[in-house]
Amino acid sequence: MRIDIYQSVKNPSRYFSVRAGEHPISRNDTDPDFATLTLHRKNLEIKAGDGRGGLNSADIISQIETKGFATHAVSIKITEAEQ
């Protein structure tokens, strides 16, 4: 599936994805984090089981097939190991 990923301006760790070429405004989501979006990635090819860091491709595909859009978040935790 090819998707376009939009990033929340209000909460940059949250993303809103739709099928490539579809405008996110045409989707019905009432979460205020997605009131203002900026394009993050365009026409990205994903497949269930992809090992892309930060993306659960199977979940994104399932959400888009079910409701026409997907919402997801990315967080990275860095810790220092004691030596």
User: pTM for the complete prediction?
Assistant: 0.83
Q: DSSP label at 13?
A: T
pLDDT per residue, tens digit, the chain (83 aa), is: 999 999 999 999 999 999 999 988 766 667 899 999 999 999 999 998 887 767 899 999 999 999 999 999 976 778 888 87
**Dihedral sign of CA atoms 36, 41, 43, 47 in order:** negative
User: Hey, what CATH class is 2-73 in?
Assistant: alpha beta
User: What is the DSSP secondary-structure string of 25-52?
Assistant: GGS----GGGSSEEEEEEEEE--TT---
Sheet of strand 2-8, all strands in order from the earlier edge strand to the far edge:
37-45, 2-8, 14-19, 70-73
Q: Given this model, what pLDDT does residue 26 score?
A: 65
What gap in Å lies between CA 77 and CA 28, rounded to an integer? 31
